[in-house]
Amino acid sequence: MIRSSRRTGALSLWLLFSMPVLLMLGFFGINALWMNFARAQTQRVVDASALAAGIVMVDDAMLTGAPTLLASLETIAESAAVNYATIQNPVGPSPVVFENADYVFGLIDHPLDAQSPKMLKLIDSLELAGRRTAATKNAVPLFGQGLFTLSRVDVIATSKVKLDRQVAGFRPVFGNTIPVAPTAIAESKAMSGWKETIESAWSVSPPTTVAAMPTIKITIGGTAAADPYVLTVSMASDPATQTLNGIAPVDLASFGGQLVVPSAGNLPIAGTQSAPSGLAAALQALQASGAKRAYPLYRGLDGMGQAQVTRFVAARVTNVMNNGSTIDVTLTPAFLEHPSVVTETGRPTNPYLARVRLTTP
pLDDT digits (tens, 9 = 90+) for 157-175: 999 999 999 999 999 999 9
Q: What is the mean pLDDT of the chain?
A: 86
Statement to judge: residues 90 and 185 lie in one domain = no
The DSSP H or E segment spanning 258 is none
**Taking the CB of residue 144, how many other CB atoms lie within 10 A of it?**
15
Residue finishing a domain among 125, 149, 164? 164
Beta strand pairing call for 229-231 and 336-337: unpaired
Does residue 1 fall inside a structural domain? no
pLDDT recorded at residue 352: 98
**3-class secondary structure, 227:** coil
pLDDT confidence bin for 118, thresholds 50/70/90: confident
Statement to judge: residues 77 and 177 lie in one domain = no
Alpha-carbon torsion, ordered 203, 206, 211, 214, to 10 deg: -10
pLDDT digits 0-9 by tens, 341-354: 999 999 999 999 99
Statement to judge: residues 101 and 117 lie in one domain = yes
CA distance 105 to 124: 7
Asked if pLDDT for residue 268 goes beyond 90, the answer is yes
Statement to judge: residues 314 and 172 lie in one domain = yes
Does residue 324 fall inside a structural domain? yes
Whether the CB-CB separation of 73 and 57 falls below 8 Å is answered with yes
pLDDT recorded at residue 16: 59
CA distance 132 to 142: 13
Residue finishing a domain among 127, 149, 164? 164
Q: What are the Cα distances from residue 63, in Å, to 97, 238, 253, 275, 306?
A: 30, 31, 33, 30, 31
Parent domain of 82: 7-164
pLDDT recorded at residue 94: 62
Statement to judge: residues 96 and 149 lie in one domain = yes
**Taking the CB of residue 70, how many other CB atoms lie within 10 A of it?**
21
Asked if pLDDT for residue 11 goes beyond 80, the answer is no
Whether the CB-CB separation of 161 and 357 falls below 8 Å is answered with yes
CA distance 270 to 268: 7
% of the chain beyond a pLDDT of 90: 56
CA distance 357 to 354: 9
pLDDT recorded at residue 52: 94
φ and ψ at residue 224, rounded to 5 degrees: -70, 155
pLDDT digits 0-9 by tens, 279-300: 999 999 999 999 999 999 999 8
Statement to judge: residues 293 and 341 lie in one domain = yes
Residues 6+ apart with CB under 8 A from 120: 64, 65, 66, 109, 110, 112, 113, 206
Statement to judge: residues 58 and 24 lie in one domain = yes
Number of domains comprising the chain = 2
CA distance 49 to 83: 8
Whether the CB-CB separation of 155 and 70 falls below 8 Å is answered with no
pLDDT confidence bin for 1, thresholds 50/70/90: very low
Q: How far does Cα 162 stand from its chain's mean position?
A: 8
pLDDT recorded at residue 312: 97
Residue finishing a domain among 145, 164, 183? 164
Compute the average pLDDT of residues 5-32. 59
pTM confidence score: 0.86
